[in-house]
Amino acid sequence: MTPTEGSRPLRAVFVAGTGTDVGKTVATAALLRALRGLGVAAQAVKPVQTGVAPATLCGDAISYAAAVADLAPVPGVPPAAVLRAFSLPASPQLAAAREGGRLTAADLASSIGEHWEGLAPGAGLLLLEAAGGLLAPLNAREGMIDLMAEVQAPVILVARNELGALNHALLSLEAVRARGLELAALVLVEPPRPVAEASGEAVLAENSRYLAEHLAAHWPQALFCRLPWGELSGPAGWQELAQVLLPLARALAETGSGSRAGDARPGVDLEARDHAALWHPYASATLLPPLETAARSHDNRIVLADGRELIDGMSSWWAAVHGYNHPRLNHALRAQSALMPHVMFGGLTHAPAVTLGERLLAAMPEGLERIFFADSGSVAVEVALKMALQCRQGRGERRRTRFLTPRGGYHGDTLGAMSVCDPVTGMHSLFAGMLPQQFFMERPSCRFDAPFDPAALDDARRILAEHGDEVAAVILEPVVQGAGGMWFYHPDYLRGLADLCRRAGALLIFDEIATGFGRTGRFFAAEWAGVTPDILCCGKALTGGVLTLAATACTAEVAEDICRGGRVFMHGPTFMGNPLACAVASASLDILEENRWQAQVARLERGLAEGLAPCRNFPDVADVRALGAIGVVEMTAPVNGPRLQRFFVERGVWIRPFGRLIYLMPPYITPPEDVARLCAAVVDALAADAWRLPD
């Protein structure tokens, strides 16, 4: 939902049943009466009504109107409304399909928003009565609960007191919890008396006691109400029910039940609190960086606190390859959290780590045979450097303590990793004296898409000839140098380098933290060259962008050398092999396979190459390139990051340039029209000169 500037924030609450026929409509109508009795200009709304002939007042709306028939009308706020009506008495999905329509949570949410805007300004609250149970389908992918999540209104859950009520109520509460929705109340509707033999008064009393206790323990903010079976004979009957719901009506009137999605500018306060308390990546704490407040995310979209949706062009720094809130990843997370969120990895093992380790080794270049799990990319790089150093010690080569790496690299922000980052963009001068001194060679100069020039290896050859016996290992990002300049170089460079390393006795470390999991068009970028390194790091997209996890793999030979003579490898993060992260990572590997990532990435490469091509026509553009799911526009001078960020957000896209680079690396699931919009926004930014720094 996208509230327009200056619109009133939506105030709404959803009334949902634990099933059909539980007394939801009666509860909604009684609550409407209680609210109107308190002077709140409430309206009961069926966003979707099935089983009726379309008319203004149809289906449940007739009950709503009847419940307040004797109360004074509120001008401009009729008691009831139906937004979408279908004649088939079935689930919304079926009923809509029968009439050739398709319902989506987003469309219904905007209908609700528009409906609210159309009411008189005095309107106080919408009671949105859901159709059927929480998971009643709207379409093949979404259910009623997705509409609730879209609107972000609190939920009143209505259950009927009968045999089986506990199971239905508890399942529904779990669903509410899983979507991060707020529960305003649980209303237990009593059956007509006398009750059937099977239920029995004792069962009903026990149900009620159990639910009251469960609510107090797990949902302390929510109210528990028991609604007696009403003989709905006119105003007196309705008044009796309304009286029972009065405490709930008061609570709703007091808190106002603003939909979290509709607040005027809910992000403003958060931004101020953020500025007072937090630090952001590579940012000043005193010169404040521009911030947007992200509230939710789905598919390839980031939803801001004010309801605006941005098309994501960054995959949250290479990570969210399947987009956001992928149901399978979220499910893996929940399922594992119910079993065991974490245990120490010292002395203990578990299925999520073993399974993931085996699968990673199977996917990595042939010859890598052992996995060490770390909790972030930088730590995985530290682990790789330490593996190389301990390997040398195991071999008795104590002179080999330094690393050789190309300029323009990026390997993380911890001290060891920083020492092998590009000395200029890595700001080595800031930490001079602290950082270990490494050898730097020329950046691999030969473009990915040009014929290979063997001279590109001259500098590596020279340094290895001079200092080869001091070098423990050569470390580099294969094929794509990421944060150091988004540079794509020729795979033959890696073949030549691997050969030089072998001759010089130096180990070869590939940092695939950015390039892994298909981003460059190969599962690991090492495959472009057919080279197996001695050590390989991966991370970032490993969990599909859900949790932090990284892994360092090495060959059997490296492992044996490290452990020679009973030695051990000296590293062990507290959260090593975290079961949640490992379970999500395995699910992410499944999704990559099922989605056929090769086709997704190939489609993105074509879309990015085509969409960014017009950038070549601008005089300040130095280069335009695309490889796999990465598209880059390199300018001749540094760009104005904050200004561009604002420009892009205004155009509904999330792109974060740095240095001289405006680049895109969208989630693999990005549809072609969104790739086109991302590229068009970059072209627009150049056309509007929005990239320029002030003189």
Active site residues: 282, 410, 511, 540
Of the ranges 74-82, 361-369, 511-519, 553-561, which one interacts with ligand PLP (CB under 6 A)? 511-519
Interacting stretch for ligand PLP, rule CB under 6 A, among 216-224, 228-236, 463-471, 507-515? 507-515
CB 79 within 8 A of CB 32: yes
- Residue number with CB closer to ligand PLP (486 or 558): 486
Which part of the chain contacts ligand PLP (CB under 6 A), choosing from 95-103, 407-415, 608-616, 679-687?
Answer: 407-415
Tokens 């005193």 sit at which residue? 286
546 makes contact with ligand PLP (CB under 6 A): no
State the residue number with the nearest CB to ligand PLP: 377
Measure the CA–CA gap between 46 and 639, rounded to whole angstroms.
Answer: 50
Examine residue 377 and tell whether it contacts ligand PLP (CB under 6 A): yes
Which listed residue (514, 536, 547, 632) binds ligand PLP by CB under 6 A? 514
Q: Which of 416, 394, 364 is nearest to 552 (CA)?
A: 364
Binding-site residue total for ligand PLP (CB under 6 A)?
A: 15
Q: Is 364 in the site for ligand PLP (CB under 6 A)?
A: no
The nearer residue to ligand PLP, 333 or 514, going by C-beta atoms, is 514
> Nearest distance from residue 377's CB to ligand PLP, in Å?
2
Q: Which is nearer to ligand PLP, 150 or 511 (CB)?
A: 511
**Residue 656, both tokens:** 């974060």
Neighbouring residues of 606: CB distance < 8 A, sequence distance ≥ 6: none
Closer by beta carbon to ligand PLP, 249 or else 514 = 514
User: Applying CB under 6 A, which of residues 381, 404, 547, 661 lies at the interface with ligand PLP?
Assistant: 381
Please identify which residue in 1, 225, 446, 483 interacts with ligand PLP, judged by CB under 6 A.
483
Residue 513 contacts ligand PLP per CB under 6 A: yes
Half-sphere exposure of 410 (CA within 13 A, CB side): 17
539 touches ligand PLP by CB under 6 A: yes
Burial 448-474 (b: 16+ CB within 10 A, else e): beeebeeebbebbbebbeeebeebbbb
Q: Is 410 in the site for ligand PLP (CB under 6 A)?
A: yes
User: Hey, what amino acid is at 166?
Assistant: L
- Which residue lies nearer to ligand PLP by CB, 92 or 412? 412
Shorter beta-carbon distance to ligand PLP: residue 421 or 678: 421
Tell whether residue 412 is a contact of ligand PLP (CB under 6 A): yes
All residues at 6 or more sequence positions from 193 whose CB lies less than 8 Å from its CB, including other chains: 229
Residue 552 token pair? 């360092």
Contact 44, 32 (CB under 8 A): yes
Instruction: Choose which of 411, 443, 461, 625 interacts with ligand PLP (CB under 6 A).
Output: 411
Sign of dihedral through CA atoms 261, 265, 269, 272?
Answer: positive
Q: What radius of gyration do the chain's Cα atoms show?
A: 30
Respond yes or no on whether the N-terminal peptide bond of residue 194 is cis (omega within 30° of 0). yes
Of the candidate residues 207, 259, 376, 578, the single one contacting ligand PLP (CB under 6 A) = 376
How many Å apart are CA 416 and CA 561, to the nearest integer?
22
Closest to ligand PLP by CB, 511 or 634: 511
Among 1-9, 146-154, 409-417, 487-495, which window interacts with ligand PLP (CB under 6 A)? 409-417
Alpha-carbon dihedral 76, 78, 84, 90, rounded to 10 degrees: 170
**Residue 104 burial (10 A CB sphere; 0-12, 13-18, 19+):** middle
CB of 616 to ligand PLP, least distance (A): 27
Quote the least distance from Cβ 381 to ligand PLP, whole Å.
Answer: 5
State both tokens at 24: 């939801």
Contact positions vs ligand PLP (CB under 6 A): 376-378, 381, 410-412, 477, 482-483, 511, 513-514, 539-540
